[in-house]
Amino acid sequence: MTEMFPTNALARGLIRFGYRLQRPLLRRRLGRVVLERVDGVPILVLPEVFNGVLFRTGEMLARTVAASSLASPRSAPARALDLGTGSGIGAVFAARRGFQVVAADLNPDAVRCARLNALLNRLEDRIEVRQGDLFAPVAGETFDLVLFNPPFFQGTPRGPLDLAWRATDLLERTAAGLPAVLAPGGTALVVLSTDGEGKNLLAAFGAQGLASEAVAQRDYGNEIVTVYAVRRKEVR
C-alpha cells in the first residue's frame, strides 16, 4: 500500500482546519470552466462535470494508474475501460500508459468534456468516448483494465452533475456486471472513500467472486480515500 498519511488526532485536526480555510478558494473552481493539472497533465473541467482534481478522488485514481504495475499493459493491444469517466481524467492517464481506452458516462456534458480532454492531450487516437449507463455502452466487450470512481452516496440524482455523487442501485449493478467485462487476468481499479457506501460495494464484489485489495490510500483528514484492485478470486 502506498501514500499512507498520519492518522493521529492532532494531525487529523490540523488537516481539517486547513481544509476549512481552503473552502472559499475551492468554491471558485465550481460551476465554471476550469483547467486543472495533474502532475503537469492538463485536464479541462466543464461546469456540469465532476471535478476529480478538486474533490481528489479522480486525481488519486489517475496517479495510481500512472504509477502502479497493475496498470501496465500486459500485451498489445491492451484495452481499458474508464467507467463513469467524468472529465476523462482516468482515460487520459490510461491512454498515456499505452492502453486503447473506452470512456463511458451517462452525463452528456461529461462525454463532451472527456472528448475535449482526449483532444487537448493529443490522445484522440487512443480514447473513444461513449454515452450510456454503466456497462451498457460496452456490452459484450472485455477489458484488461477497468477504472471506476463511483458515486459514493445512495439516492436519486437531482441533475446531470449529481450523477457523480449519488445513485440508487448502482453498487449492486456494478458488482454484478464487472466480472463480465474483465478479461482473463484483468484488474479493476476502484476508488472509494470513508464517506458513502464503499464497504457495501466491497462486500458486493466479494459476493460475485471478486477479491479486493487496497493498493493506494491517503488520509485527507476529513476522509480517507483508498484505491482498490479488484480481480477474480484465484481457484485452487
Query: Tens-digit pLDDT profile for the chain (236 aa)?
Result: 433 334 444 444 443 444 444 444 455 566 789 999 999 999 999 998 989 898 889 999 999 999 998 888 877 789 999 999 999 999 999 999 999 999 999 999 999 999 999 999 999 999 999 999 999 999 999 999 999 998 765 666 666 665 665 566 788 889 999 999 999 999 999 999 887 777 888 999 999 999 999 999 998 887 889 999 999 987 55
Helix (H, G, I), strand (E, B) or coil at 190: strand
Residue type at position 216: A
Q: Of 41, 135, 133, which is closest to residue 88 (Cα–Cα)?
A: 41
CA 234 vs CA 68, 143, 181, 205, 212: distances in Å: 21, 18, 17, 14, 12
Residue 93 in contact with residue 65, Cβ under 8 Å?
yes
pLDDT at 231: 95
Alpha carbon distance, N-terminus to C-terminus of the chain: 25
pLDDT at 11: 44
Q: Of 4, 61, 12, 10, which is closest to residue 38 (Cα–Cα)?
A: 61
pLDDT at 236: 56
pLDDT at 220: 82
φ, ψ (nearest 5 deg) of residue 181: -95, -10
Residues in the chain: 236
